[in-house]
Amino acid sequence: MRSSRNRTAVIRIAGVIFAVFVFLSCHNQAKEENQQGLHYIRQGQYEQAIAEFTNALLEDNEWLPAYYNRAVCYANTGQYKEALNDFNYMLAHYPEHAESYFNRGILFENIGVYPNAIKDYSQTIRLHPNFAAAYHYRGIARFYTKDYEGALADYNKAVELGLAEAGLYFNRGVVRQIQGDTESAIKDYSEAISVDPSSAQSYYNRGIAYLKRGETDEAQKDLEIALRLGFTKAADLLDTYFQ
């Protein structure tokens, strides 16, 4: 049997983690428009929310919550330049706001500017050292810069802090698999599957790890499950190794 390649990729976090920011405003109209904007966010109506936050800023153009909330909406609608402008304004006037660094980090990560993402996640961690998701996301950014040791350290810290997400275990498994530690990678993929039994990519990657170890029966089972769950790449390996 030929050895398989490490056809792996991290589970990437898409979008911006939702969080809203509320201060009392001295302008009642701005406060009402902000509340209406938050209502639209809860309904997933981001464009309407943007309009309300913009109206709030017309009433009070220094009101930070409207900049932050509008930035979240811009980011969730793919208007990254506008989101970045609002996050930048927010942080220029409130440099200790960890959530702005965190969400701006996600924005940078989504557009592939990984060094900036790492800086923002690091600022988040400086302000909130127990912010587990910031370690996970910084680990993803470090992975994309090929800093595998740094990524693994961040994933380990996120797990230590109690984050138990399928994506975290999967991503740590990917790093371990790249480093040749297939035993630990299999354990991580198994944890990911325990958290999310529908994770086809976890079965697929665990199947590859089993192939690397020569455990063909287990590999075939995982690849077949991955295929049943809709991960079509598994068909290629099944055809290559088990026909």
The region that residue 196 occupies, defined by phi over 0 for left and psi between -120 and 50 for alpha, beta otherwise, is: beta
What are the residue ranges spanned by the domains of the chain? 117-243
- Identify the DSSP state of 13: P
| The pair of three-digit structure tokens given for residue 216, joined into one six-digit string | 């063909």
Give the span between the Cα atoms of 200 and 224, in whole angstroms.
Answer: 10
Query: pLDDT 10s per residue in the chain (243 long)?
Result: 222 333 334 444 334 434 555 555 556 777 788 888 989 998 999 999 999 999 999 988 988 889 999 999 999 999 999 999 999 999 999 999 999 999 999 999 999 999 999 999 999 999 999 999 999 999 999 999 999 999 999 999 999 999 999 999 999 999 999 999 999 999 999 999 999 999 999 999 999 999 999 999 999 999 999 999 999 999 999 999 998
Report, in this order, helix, strand and coil percent for the chain, each rounded to 5.
Answer: 70, 0, 30
CATH class of the domain at 117-243: mainly alpha
Distance CA 127, CA 202 (A): 33
Contact 207, 195 (CB under 8 A): no
